[in-house]
Amino acid sequence: MQNHEQWLQIAHEDLRAAKGLLKLELFSAVAYHCQQTAKKSLKAYLVFKNHRIVKTHDLLQLVELCMKFDTTFEKIVDQANLLNPFSTKFRYPSEYDIPDLQDSQNAVKQAQSIFNFIKKKTNTSDKGQRNIFNNN
């Protein structure tokens, strides 16, 4: 089984890359790394819960899987929805405008929020399936 901390480490590297690229005004790359931060953070939580990793870039699908363990993941649905298209949206020329500074700063903020949310969730000793008889 993969270690959730390894997933979080790689997610953190993506977040740091996004922040560094923001300073260089490489906004398309910022958006991509923000989406990757969220994706790898969500997968870290699934590993933490001993759930198999699903091969997907769809953040909403990953949030939905996480919600099976913890309904408070509903709090990050909007953030995941904002970042979700960035796995491909700005990597190739398309009908979309390249993100600007404000878009990129917002993407970093959302990615940081998801990363922090999941890091906090995995800093507990509660691993594995939740107890269905526990109302917490």
Structural domain boundaries in the chain? 4-120
What pLDDT score was predicted for residue 90? 65
Global confidence as pTM = 0.86
What pLDDT score was predicted for residue 1? 39
What pLDDT score was predicted for residue 136? 36
Nearest to 91, CA basis, from 32, 3, 136: 32
What pLDDT score was predicted for residue 124? 74
What pLDDT score was predicted for residue 98? 80
Top-level CATH class of 4-120?
mainly alpha
Element (H or E) spanning 113, and its range?
Answer: helix 101-122
What pLDDT score was predicted for residue 16? 98
C-alpha distances in Å from residue 100, one per residue of 23, 26, 34, 96, 126: 12, 9, 14, 12, 40
Per-residue pLDDT of the chain (136 residues; tens, 9 = 90+): 359 999 999 999 999 999 999 999 999 999 999 999 999 999 999 999 999 988 999 999 999 999 999 999 999 999 999 999 887 776 666 656 788 999 999 999 999 999 999 999 998 755 554 433 343 3
Nearest to 53, CA basis, from 81, 37, 62, 67: 62
Exposure string over 61-80, b if 16+ CB within 10 A, otherwise e: ebbebbeebeeebeebeebb
